[in-house]
Amino acid sequence: MFDQLPAHADDPILGLFEAYKADPRPHKVNLGIGIYCDEQGRVPVLASVRAARALLAEADAPSVYAPTEGAQPYRDAVRRLVFGELETAPIVVVQTVAGTGALKTGADLLKDLSPEATVWMPDPTWANHAAIFEGAGLRVDHYPYYDGRTGGFDLDGAIATLGKLPAGDIVLLHPCCHNPTGVDPSHDEWRALFDTIAQRGLLPFFDMAYQGFAQGVDEDAWAVRECVRRGIACLVASSFSKIFSLYGERVGALAVHAPGADAARLLGRLKLGIRRSYSCPPGQGAALVQAILSDRALESQWRAELEAMRLRMRAMRTALHRALHRALGPGSDYLVAQHGMFSYTGLAPARIDAMRERFGVYLVGSGRLCVAGLNASNIERVSAALAAVRA
Ligand code: LMR
């Protein structure tokens, strides 16, 4: 059975990261994979995480199996972070293996409960979304999202598609820092989307990997909370890789807002899916996040560190915008209008290849640029490369 295996193309993001690591050129710049780097180009160890690690080291607890759904204090802390003051809303939270694990756990649940539903994703979306949902056996299709003419959100296109869907279909949404475009709907646009979603009886599935990178922790959860305030059932996948700079620990959560559901039965169903997939979640990353979010001082230290990351990315957007304006004149306002880690340059694949081959500047083939990889020492090089391939 193994001698006729079809060949698979490398993953467009992870494969590019491997190519970047293998590139011997000293001035190479990684603007591909979504990893936040500090001004020195390093993945930071947050001081709040370091302090939480010290607490855990002191406690010296043995390594035991976590509950299938994760520890209760972790689940409570995540609930507060994502849903804020919505304390009475009927929400079940389970710990997952990062954001990808949350999407997969949610996809398995949906396939189980609603096998005929189609999952509608924004066009474009994260390169792995379709694979996760198709891998769970669900049908996948796309709704218009990015308007190439305006560089903004195509609300009319999205509503025209969503407004025709059958009840029970699933709509994948990025509540902030849309990946790959950095284009987020305004509050009014979200309201219009939720009107359509409620009218059609659709089920939103939010993928929230960057809470705090656009406007702030609570501001970025606005769309999720608005959906819950309206009583619309929804799923939320949270990733803590970026916002706690904990990429290797694989820490995340899935929340299900299910008005009218029996919460114990819903939790049981989720636990069934987790048990037959990976049995129970990893301990260390969740213990760190739990330690931070359950201690006032540590939480405010973390929030300040998250804010500093957000502001550094904004400053890099402004600096690149200025440099490109100097080199090419107007035309790069998208950099300052978009949010989060990513910008969509609109560059064709041949130009992306040229940036990598001629200048050692790595962008994802879709034209996505990770602004979190920019710093004072590489920004001129990046803007020169962008100007050269644009010219
Ligand atoms: C990205 O979009 O670059 C990140 O979410 C990393 C990944 O796993 O693709």
**Residue 34 alpha carbon to ligand 1 centre in Å:** 5
Using an 8 Å Cβ cutoff, are 86 and 284 in contact? no
**What is the rounded end-to-end Cα distance, in angstroms, of the chain?**
51
pLDDT in tens, the chain (391 residues): 899 999 988 899 999 999 999 999 999 999 999 999 999 999 999 999 999 999 999 999 999 999 999 999 999 999 999 999 998 899 999 999 999 999 999 999 999 999 999 999 999 999 999 999 999 999 999 999 999 888 999 999 999 999 999 999 999 999 999 999 999 999 999 999 999 999 999 999 999 999 999 999 999 999 999 999 999 999 999 999 999 999 999 999 999 999 999 999 999 999 999 999 999 999 999 999 999 999 999 999 999 999 999 999 999 999 999 999 999 888 889 999 999 999 999 899 999 999 999 999 999 999 999 999 999 999 999 999 999 998 7
DSSP string of 67-102, one letter each residue: PTT--HHHHHHHHHHHHTT-TTS-EEEEEEEHHHHH
Find the DSSP H helices in 114-221. 129-135, 155-162, 187-200, 217-220
Q: Is the CB of 179 under 6 A from ligand 1?
A: yes
CA distance 16 to 20: 6
H or E stretch including 106?
Answer: helix 98-113
- With the most atoms of ligand 1 within 8 angstroms of its CB, the residue from 10, 126, 364, 371 to mutate is 126
CA–CA distance, 371 with 374 (Å, rounded to integer): 5
Q: Give the H/E segment covering residue 153.
A: strand 152-153
Residues 179 and 55: their CA atoms lie apart, in Å, by: 34
Residue labelled with tokens 């300052």: 336
DSSP 3-state of 298:
helix
pLDDT of residue 10: 86
Q: Is 34 in the pocket of ligand 1 (CB under 6 A)?
A: yes
**CA–CA dist 278, 289 (Å, integer):** 21
CB-ligand 1 contact for 33 (6 Å cutoff)? yes
Please tell me the distance between residue 201's alpha carbon and the centre of ligand 1 in angstroms. Answer: 31
Hey, whose CA ends up nearest to atom 9 of ligand 1?
13
Q: Look-up: residue for tokens 């193994």?
A: 2
Is 242 among the residues known to form the active site? yes
Tokens matching residue 14 = 């992870």
Does the annotation count 104 as an active-site position?
no
Alpha carbon separation from 183 to 32, 61, 70, 124 (Å, rounded): 18, 44, 33, 11
207 and 173 Cβ atoms separated by less than 8 Å: yes
Catalytic residue among 104, 108, 126, 169: 126
CA distance 363 to 30: 7
Does residue 360 line the site of ligand 1, with CB under 6 A?
Answer: no
Tokens of 250: 């694989």
Instruction: Determine which one of 108, 154, 190, 242 is catalytic.
Output: 242
Residues in the chain: 391
Render the burial of 201-215: b for 16+ CB within 10 Å, e for the rest.
ebbbbbbbbbbbbbe
Question: DSSP for 18-67?
Answer: HHHHH---TT-EEESS-----TTS-----HHHHHHHHHHHHHT----PPP
Which protein residue's CA is at the shortest distance from atom 5 of ligand 1?
Answer: 34
Q: Is 145 in the pocket of ligand 1 (CB under 6 A)?
A: no
Cβ contact 289:249 at 8 Å = no
Mutate to test the pocket of ligand 1, among 11, 18, 20, 33 (most ligand atoms within 8 A of CB): 33
Q: Is the CB of 126 under 6 A from ligand 1?
A: yes
Beta-carbon-side half-sphere exposure of residue 357 (alpha carbons within 13 Å): 8
Which tokens in the block code for residue 357? Answer: 């081959």
The set of residues, in sequence order, having a beta carbon less than 8 Å from that of 223 and lying 6+ positions away, is: 173, 175, 176, 185, 190, 206
Ligand 1 atom 4 nearest Cα: 34
